[in-house]
Amino acid sequence: MIKPLGSDKLMPLYVEDDAKRAELQKEAEGLPSIVISSAAAGNAVMLAGGYFTPLTGFMNVADSMGVAQNMKTTSGQFWPTPVLNVVEDASAIKDAKRIALLDPNVEGNPVLAIQDVEAIEEFTDEQMATMTKEIYGTDDPEHIGVATFNAVGKTCISGPIQVLNFSYFPKDFPGTFKTAVEIRNEISERGWEKVVAFQTRNPMHLAHEELCRMAYEDEKADGILIHMLLGKLKKGDIPADVRDNCIRKMVETYFPPNTVMVTGYGFDMLYAGPREAVLHACFRQNCGCTHLIVGRDHAGVGDYYGPFDAQTIFDNISKDDLQIDIYRADHTAFSKKLGKVVMMSRVEDHTKDDFVLLSGTKVREMLGQGIKPPKEFSRPEVADILIAYYQSL
C-alpha cells in the first residue's frame, strides 16, 4: 500500500488510551482555555485522525508563510495550506505553556484538544495579504474562502496538540465519518492495492458516478473511495446528511459489492481551488489511496479559477513530495449520440447540442418543483431524495 505523506506510518494525534484521555480531560479543566475557530477545530479533527500526517500540531508564522509561498515548512516538509490556530484575542492564555482548546461547533464548548504553546505571534497585515493571495489566488473579499480566512483574527498560536475527541462528526454522521487510520485499515482488509479517491461536497449526478467508473477502469483499480466533506459549507450547498443518503443509494443500487467505500471527513470547505486540490491529494495519500480524481474547477467557487488550474498545479510537484497520482478529468456528460456518459474532451465529433447539459440553477428549480431531472442527468432514486429535501425547505 502507498506510504503516508512524509512518514512510514500514520501519525494520528487522537489520544486512544482511555485512561490517558480521562487524565488529560481532567487536566484541561484547570488549564487556561480559548474557544477556537471552526477552521482550527477542523484542523484539529484532521490531525486527530491521521489525515494531516506528518504534522504534529498548529504551524507558527514562519512555517505558515513557507507553506503559503513555497508549499514547504521551514524544515522542508511539503504541505500545501497553512494549518493554523488563529484567534482575534489571546489575552486569556497569555504566558500559558499549555492550554485547552474549546470546540466552537458543539453546544457548551467542550474541550476538543490540549495544546502545548510554543509561540503566540501576530501575523502582519502584509503577511495576511500574502497568505491570502497565495492560498486562494485572489484577495477579493467577496470570495467566501478569503472572507472566512481573514475573519478569525491574526494572532497565531503554534505548537503540538493532543486531541480528546472528534467534535460533532461521529455523533452526526455515524457510519460515515471515518479517520484516515480507519480508512487505511479497511482498504487493507478489503485487499485493495490500487484505490481511486473521489472528493465531493455535493450529491453525485450520473456524470460523477460515471467519472468514478471511468477512473476505476482506466487505472485498473481495486476500489473507489467516495470521500465526502462533512463540515461547514457555503449557503445554498446541500447538507451533508442529504448528500450521504444520495451517495449511499447510488452506490448500493448501481455499483457491484466491494468496489466502493462511502466515507466522510470532518473539515470545513476552504474553496481554495488548486491549493485545496493539493491538500485533498495529501490526505487521500494518507488514507491509502493511490489516485485522486481531479476534475474541472476542483474545489473552486465562482469564476476565480481556470477550469484546469487544479490539475496543472500538480505539474510542478515532485514525486519525492507527493506520491499519489492524479486522474485528470474533463467535464463529463451524457452523449445523445452514443447513449452514455462520456468525457467531453474524448468525443471530438460532438457539438454542445449532442450532450444533456443542465445548469445547477435549473436542476435546483426542477427539484424544488418536484420534477425529476432527466435520467441521463440524475439517477431517479437520487432525485427522489433531493426532491424531498428541496420541498422541505
Where residue 232 sits, what CATH number does that domain have? 3.40.50.620
Q: What confidence score (pLDDT) does residue 373 get?
A: 93
User: Annotated catalytic, 316?
Assistant: no
Residue with cell 455523533: 171
Please state at what angle helix 125-136 crosses helix 274-287, rounded to 10 degrees. Answer: 70
Cis-peptide, bond into residue 54, ω within 30° of zero? yes
Q: What confidence score (pLDDT) does residue 303 get?
A: 93
Q: Which residue segment(s) compose the domain that 202 sits in?
A: 175-265+269-392
Q: What is the pLDDT of residues 355-379, one digit of tens each?
A: 998 887 888 899 999 999 999 999 9
Rounded Cα distance between 70 and 130, Å, is 12
CA angle, 281 then 284 then 287, to 5°: 160
Give how far the C-alpha of residue 33 lies from the chain's centroid of Cα atoms, to the nearest Å.
Answer: 27
Instruction: From 167, 196, 219, give the residue that closes a domain.
Output: 167
**Best CA proximity match to 238, nearest among 265, 197, 276, 269:** 269
Clarify whether residues 214 and 348 are in a common domain: yes
In three-state secondary structure terms, 260 is strand
User: How many residues comprise the chain?
Assistant: 393
Q: What confidence score (pLDDT) does residue 235 get?
A: 81
Clarify whether residues 129 and 245 are in a common domain: no
Rounded Cα distance between 31 and 233, Å, is 32
Clarify whether residues 209 and 232 are in a common domain: yes
- Where the chain has pLDDT below 50, the residues are none
Q: What confidence score (pLDDT) does residue 155 get?
A: 98
The pTM is what? 0.96
Q: In terms of DSSP bridges, do strands 340-343 and 332-335 run parallel, antiparallel, or are they unpaired?
A: antiparallel
Clarify whether residues 157 and 217 are in a common domain: no
| Contact call for residues 79 and 43 (beta carbons, < 8 A) | no
**Best CA proximity match to 134, nearest among 63, 67, 38:** 67
Q: What confidence score (pLDDT) does residue 329 get?
A: 94
Which DSSP helix (H) or strand (E) runs through 64?
helix 61-70
If you ran DSSP here, which 8-state letter would residue 155 be given? E
Which DSSP helix (H) or strand (E) runs through 275?
helix 274-287
User: Annotated catalytic, 202?
Assistant: yes
Does a structural domain hold residue 7?
no
CB burial of residue 135 (10 Å; 0-12, 13-18, 19+): buried
CB burial of residue 27 (10 Å; 0-12, 13-18, 19+): middle
Instruction: From 120, 148, 167, give the residue that closes a domain.
Output: 167
Q: What confidence score (pLDDT) does residue 233 get?
A: 81
Clarify whether residues 129 and 238 are in a common domain: no
If you ran DSSP here, which 8-state letter would residue 78 be given? B
| Contact call for residues 6 and 89 (beta carbons, < 8 A) | no
Instruction: From 167, 202, 237, give the residue that closes a domain.
Output: 167
Identified catalytic residue from 202, 213, 248, 364: 202
Identified catalytic residue from 21, 98, 190, 201: 201
Rounded Cα distance between 92 and 10, Å, is 34
Clarify whether residues 128 and 31 are in a common domain: yes
The letter for the amino acid at 28 is: A
